[in-house]
Amino acid sequence: MKSSKFLPVAALITLMGASFSAQAYDADWKRGRIYYRAVCTTCHIASPIGSINPSTKTKAEWTAYLQANKHAKGKDTVSQYVSKAYRASIKSGNKAAEKFADTPDQELADDLKAFLLKGAKDGDAPATCS
């Protein structure tokens, strides 16, 4: 009899635990905007390519670009530029890289994606780099 009362309670606790662990990270587009403007735009302005506004691509184009994970015509990866190693390499000259030095790579990548999709040509708030 005791085990029959314990079983539903154990099942309920297990389900509650699973629902808490299954919660995904809720990307912060504002943090993505700060990183994009302070890190990505700063680097692009210094290169022959120049700045790239998020509104130059659609959400589908940004999604495909990020999924392909190819940057600089395939010479390196997008994920490299949101990595802790990259942020550590530029933090002495970039306050945003210093500010986000301990942010997990995937969280920062999700934040950046959220900003790019929000600021895309067909996004909720097409964005420029200014």
Q: What is the DSSP string of 51-89?
A: ---GGGS-HHHHHHHHHHT-BTTTTB-TGGGGSHHHHHH
Q: What is the pLDDT of residue 12?
A: 46
Interhelix angle 105-118/59-68, nearest 10 degrees: 160
Percent of the chain with pLDDT over 90: 62
Q: What is the pLDDT of residue 17?
A: 52
Residues of the chain with pLDDT under 50: 1, 7, 10-12, 15, 18-21
Q: What is the pLDDT of residue 10?
A: 47
Q: What is the pLDDT of residue 128?
A: 67
Q: What is the pLDDT of residue 2?
A: 53
Q: What SS3 state is found at 99? A: helix
pTM for the predicted model, two decimal places: 0.77
| CB neighbour class for 84 (10 Å; exposed up to 12, middle 13-18, buried from 19) | middle
Q: What is the pLDDT of residue 20?
A: 47
In the DSSP assignment, the letter for residue 11 is: H
Q: Are 13 and 99 in contact (CB under 8 A)?
A: no
